[in-house]
Each structure stands twice: as structure tokens, then as C-alpha cells.
Amino acid sequence: MATTLALPRSATAPAPLAHKAPALRHLGPNWYATVMGTAIIANAGASLPYQLPGQRVACQLFWALSAAALAVLLTARAGHWIHHRDQARAHLLDPAVAPFYGCLSMALLAVGAGTLTVGKDLIGTGPAVAADTVLFTAGTATGLLIAVAVPYLMVVRHKVEPHQATPVWLLPVVAPMVSAAVGPLLIPHLPAGQPREALLLACYAMFGISLLATLLMLPLVFGRLIVSGPLPLALTPALFLVLGPLGQSTTAVNQLADMAPQSIGAPYAGAFGAFAVVYGVPVMGFALLWLALSAAMLVRAARRGMGFAMTWWALTFPVGTCVTGAAALARHTGLTAFAWLAAALFLALVTAWLLAAAHTLRGLASGRLLAAPR
């Protein structure tokens, strides 16, 4: 999500195919964050307890925009691998860039969820189910692969020090949690019996994969902040990435609890419903604590001259997961406080998206965002 990410010196050397599609040479996987940040507005807006006139139409427009952006980026990234394979390999071997490959999975999953949530109004339920099935399958498979491959590379190939830990390290392990949160949307479209139960429990398994991996990574990130001080100014918005696994896990357990009665018998269905609240409320409380800390650090960085960077997109998707988490808790607890929290977070999400999108378009028009890193 950074505008320029530190690459090995060799990565900027001319390559045999560097003269082809030069604009794609420095197009990294961090660009998928723009798709995630756009799709989450559609998904979060549709989940809000309060629905205003025209809100559904606005969500459909954001979904369509995210789907178009995903198609463009998939094509551009394919061109990147074809024409600039040396640079693509350098990205995988760079600890500052490799974690962003998790964004590919989450972009596929977020657009797929939006297709079945609001896109079905435009293309029909049948095509929406088919599209989400493809995107969910591809996103889940990619996410599970990245959740293993990137930590493996960090252990055996990347040279990292404790002071280099940032919330970006969470990206590869959060993707399975997104699968756990959006997978329940497909459960009603499966045959009753074992297919529904299998997907339900598979989503709970991915919830566990991501949650336990996050619990391993998060102390490294917080410890680095305490011992080594604030992140560099351009990376400060990345602190909001911690909200991703918190809000998404809260969304996941509540979404799964909704589907449990039609997927699995007693006593597990009731237990899953209770777990959704028992888990979700304290995790949402910690998310609000981290949100306050991150916002304070963001204000500090802004006062010290923080300019625009692609890290600003970290202010969108993670906050959006907190919107869906708070909305789900409002649905399960009946508390108006959670409904108001979801609405307030959604306003912050839309504001962050407008700022990030405007600066991104300006950077693309000037060519600065696709220029070689300095």
C-alpha cells in the first residue's frame, strides 16, 4: 500500500522485456488494495442496520466499480508477470512487498461477496451465485497458498529484523479470515445436508487458521512499536491493517452463526450463536482501542508532513470490516449502540475512500504512482 516500496537494487535493473509495457514494471500487488477498499463499501453499506433512499443503488455502483477495477488489475498484473518477470520475482523475494500478495485473494473474495450481496440485483441471482462461486474458490485457494508461501519465504529467504515488523506482515494470514466471513453467503445455495455442513466447518477452520496466525504476528508488530518507536510517516496508515483481522473475525463468527441452524444440528447451532456474541463483543472492544491508537498516530504523522502514499488504502478495507462486524453484532444483540457504531464507522470509511481514490487518480494521471521507486 506504499507509494514506493524498497526493492533490491537489482530489481530496478533493465530486463530483456523491460521495454514492453513499461508502465506495468512497477505495478505491485499492493494495488489490489484499491479493489478491496472499493468493494467493502458495497458490502458494508448493504449490511448497515439503517438504509437510506438510494443507498442500495450506491452500493451497486461501488460493486460495479470494484468488479471493473478487479478485471483491469488482473489483466495488468498478468502483463506484469509476462513482460517483467524479473521484477515480479524480485517482489516475491522482497519482505516489504511479498506480504501484499495476500491482497489478491482478498480482492477476489470481496468482489465475490459484493456480487452475491448487491450485484445480484443487476445480473440476477443465478449468475451472481455462479460468479461468487468462482471468485470464492479462486480467492480461498489463493489465500491459503499465500498464507503458507509468504511466511515460508520470510523464514528461509527474506532477511528481516525485529525492528522491521509492520502490520503489513498480517496481510498474508488475514485472507483465510475473509474466506470465513464471506463463505456463509454461499451456504443457502448448496444442497441441504453434508455440503452445507462441510462449507460451514471449513469456514470455521479458516477462521482458526487466520486467528491463530494473527495472534502470533500481532505481538511482533506491537512490540516493534513499543521498542523502536512510530512507523515511518508514509507507513503510519498501515497501523489500521490490524483492524482487518479483528473486524473480519467478528463478521465471520456472526455470519456463520446465521447459517448454523440450516447447516448443522443441535447443540452446535445454538453454541455457534452464543459464541458469535461472546467472541465478537470483546474483540470489537479491542478493535476500537486499536482504532483510537491508530488515529492518534495518524494525526501525529499528518502534523509532521505525511504526504499521500498508497498506504492510505489501509484506511478503507480494515475499517469496513469493523462496519460489518458492528452491524452483525447489532443484529444479534439488538443493541442500538452497535447500530450507531456501524453507521459512524461507515461514514469514516466513505470519507477515507474519497480521499484515497482522489489522490490515487491524481497520482495515476501524473504518472508518479507507477514510476520507479527512488
What's the predicted TM-score (pTM) here? 0.91
Residue 157 pLDDT grade (very low, low, confident, very high; cuts 50, 70, 90): confident
Fold observed for domain 21-366: Glycosyltransferase (1.50.10)
Select from 32, 39, 29 the least CA-distant residue to 324: 39
Residue 374's pLDDT band (cuts 50, 70, 90): low
Residue 337 CA: distances (Å) to CA of 277, 341, 343, 374:
14, 6, 10, 47
Instruction: Answer whether residue 17 shows pLDDT above 60.
Output: no
- Write out the three cell numbers for 200: 460451514
Q: How far apart are CA 311 and CA 290, in angstroms?
A: 17
* Segment 266-322, tens digit of pLDDT: 889 899 999 999 999 999 999 999 999 999 999 999 999 999 999 999 999 999 999
C-alpha cell at 56: 442500495
What per-residue confidence (pLDDT) applies to 63? 97
| pLDDT above 90 coverage of the chain, percent | 80
Helix, strand, coil percentages for the chain (3-state, nearest 5): 80, 0, 20
C-alpha cell at 119: 450485484
Measured CA to CA, the distance from residue 194 to residue 197 in angstroms comes to: 5
